[in-house]
């Protein structure tokens, strides 16, 4: 369940007392993000609305969508990792029906800047566009 994944991430973030520790945790998450092959780092895969560069690709495996992404910024890689852990492996229709407001449960707005928040929204929008294309 998506809500379970979100709750797990929220619980992990709540282990830290201050925002700087949460920020460092998100950066550490990004270090575990599998790098995207150079051939996918092209303009058509760039996510709009991000201050940093974020490349996002999607493929359908069996009945689910698998997302891969990369960024040129450490904190953004962590945010990408969080989103991929939530959305990758879902069916297209589940993503389309997903209420993105649920992500506010993570309280990321307390940690990241408004520019980064709009970048996260841009990534979610792109994920939903992929879901619509595969539905």
Assign 53 to helix, strand or coil: coil
Nearest by Cα to 50 from 36, 70, 66 = 70
**Residues across the chain:** 135
**Catalytic residue chosen out of the listed positions 6, 50, 73, 108:** 50
50 catalytic residue (yes or no):
yes
What residues act catalytically?
A: 50
């Amino acid at each position: 369940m998506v809500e379970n994944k979100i709750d797990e991430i929220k619980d992990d973030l709540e282990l830290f007392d201050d925002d700087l520790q949460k920020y460092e945790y998100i950066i550490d998450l990004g270090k575990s993000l599998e790098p995207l092959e150079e051939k996918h780092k092209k303009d058509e895969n760039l996510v709009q609305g991000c201050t940093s560069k974020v490349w996002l690709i999607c493929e359908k495996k069996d009945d689910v969508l698998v997302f891969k992404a990369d960024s040129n910024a450490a904190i953004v890689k962590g945010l990408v990792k969080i989103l991929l852990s939530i959305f990758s492996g879902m069916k297209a229709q589940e993503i389309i029906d997903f209420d993105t407001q649920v992500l506010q449960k993570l309280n990321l707005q307390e940690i990241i800047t408004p520019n980064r928040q709009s970048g996260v929204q841009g990534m979610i929008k792109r994920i939903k566009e992929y879901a619509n294309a595969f539905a």
